[in-house]
Amino acid sequence: MFAKLKFEGPIEQAIKKINNEIKEILPKFKEIKEILHYIHNILRKRLMAQLQRNFGLILVPKRDKKITTSEELAEEYEDKYLFEWDIKLFQKGFRIPRFRENIEKKISKANKKLKQILKVKNLDRFNAVKQKIQQDISKSLEKPKDWLEKIKSKFYEKLEIINPYHEYLDTVERKIIEYLDERLNSYSKEIAIIEEKLKFKIK
């Protein structure tokens, strides 16, 4: 953490202003350090990793086509957002979490079933089956969505305390905040992708 201060005018006046700034900022440094530790070690490395481990939705790029058993190691890589589910492509380049794979299989199976129903033009049955499938998959997303919202709530609560002092953070400290923010956004985007597929816009 660092402080960059710039003042114009007599040196004595500048020193007085700097001392006043330091007196105001220094007491907050310890609290901010503790918050950054909480964001890095509790929210990201524990809660976010556990969310991905139990309800994995984010597709993780493989390293040299190897699958890691370490969730923490897997988190070190940038996420990709792909809107088309190409299982052959994913098997080649990504580690697919089992939770995500099961959901995608259900959606794929449902698409085939709904297409068959549409062929005989039975709209009542189509809507009934679609609604049941939507409810079933949406229910499986309830726990991870709730978990995600709790992490977000704790994260944003901490950010409110840090934000007034954000300009004093160094690059590493800012990265701690940015990385968790990216992970939360990644997971939210994957939920949005699945929920869009659940609309079953069959042509």
Give the model's pLDDT for residue 91.
58
Give the model's pLDDT for residue 79.
39
**Tokens at 195, concatenated:** 């929920």
**Tokens at 17, concatenated:** 């202003």
82 pLDDT band, cuts 50/70/90, is very low
> How many residues are recorded in the chain?
203
Lowest mean pLDDT among 22-36, 82-96, 171-185: 82-96
Q: Give which of 19, 62, 43, 21 is closest to 183, Cα–Cα.
A: 43
> Do the beta carbons of residue 39 and residue 176 sit within 8 Å?
yes
What's this model's pTM, rounded to 2 decimal places? Answer: 0.74
Q: What is the pLDDT of residues 100-155, one digit of tens each?
A: 999 999 999 999 999 999 888 888 999 999 999 999 999 999 999 999 999 999 99
Using CA atoms, how far apart are residues 86 and 91, in angstroms rounded to an integer?
A: 9
HSE value, Cβ hemisphere, 13 Å, CA-based, for 156: 8
HSE value, Cβ hemisphere, 13 Å, CA-based, for 17: 11
**Tokens at 191, concatenated:** 């939920």
